Amino acid sequence: MLSITNLSKSYRKKQILSAIELQFNPGEIHGIVGENGAGKTTLFKCIAGLESHEGNIQYTSVNIKNTIGFLETNPEFLSKITGKEYLQLLCNARNIKDVNFEAQNIFELPLKQYAETYSTGMKKKLALTGVLLQNNNIFILDEPFNGVDIHSNLIIKELLKSLKEKGKIIVLSSHIFSTLEDTCDYLHYLKDEKIKKTVKKENFSIIENLMKDAGFKEKIKNFNIK
């Protein structure tokens, strides 16, 4: 189990997260939703150990840093490094050897090409492939469906299903409610620094309606489309 207790984060005088309480169990997929700037990426970076924070993050198994994979919204790559070299680098970091990268190139990426020349979607798929090859137990995926073609979206959904069946912990964000409904077991609504609501799959519409009611309709009305 991955447990987050009283997690808070601020940048100088601006409070981003306040007293976050969450629990993630193996074999579950959790979605974090909220408006742009709500703090989803900051929360993910805190969990991944990339941001300092107040409060506690505890994992019941090995050292969390050795078993967590973090997919950024917009992955960046070193210049003059090929897709294959990038994957090799991530495997080396976890002492994973004898990987057949071509056989496991599920997205059919041009691995001999420099990663910095990839399209946005290709970069996302390369970064996700690297995270998967590391054999992590925890997956923190920030907008895994964003910028990716429809066929690859289907592949990602099947990958998430396989990870769930293997008992992995998966936490992801998405602005597309249909992908959340297709993949997640639980949904958490992040607003005003806190988790405002947590619901199971059968009640996802509650959070969707909460987000619509949060000034959504009023903003459209005030826009005065003609």
The pLDDT value recorded for residue 215 is 58
The pLDDT value recorded for residue 201 is 93
Among residues of the chain, what percentage have pLDDT more than 70?
A: 96
pLDDT band at 65; cut points 50, 70, 90: confident
pLDDT band at 220; cut points 50, 70, 90: confident
Interval 106-139: pLDDT, tens: 999 999 999 999 999 999 999 999 999 999 999 9
Name the nearest CA neighbour of 189 among 36, 76, 44, 34. Answer: 34
The pLDDT value recorded for residue 181 is 92
Angle 168-58-45 from CA coordinates, rounded to 5°: 75
The pLDDT value recorded for residue 116 is 93
Interval 160-171: pLDDT, tens: 999 999 999 999
Mean pLDDT in residue range 145-167: 95
* Eight-class DSSP state of 107: T
Spacing of C-alpha 6 from chain mean position = 21
pLDDT band at 56; cut points 50, 70, 90: very high
Domains, the chain, in order of start with CATH, read 2-223 (3.40.50.300)
Q: How far apart are alpha carbons 17 and 44 in whole angstroms?
A: 11
3-state DSSP assignment of residue 180: helix
Statement: residue 143 has pLDDT above 80? yes
Average pLDDT of the chain to the nearest whole number: 92
The pLDDT value recorded for residue 24 is 97
The pLDDT value recorded for residue 214 is 65
The pLDDT value recorded for residue 217 is 65
Statement: residue 208 has pLDDT above 90? no
Cβ contacts of 143 within 8 Å, gap of 6 or more:
73, 172, 173, 174, 175
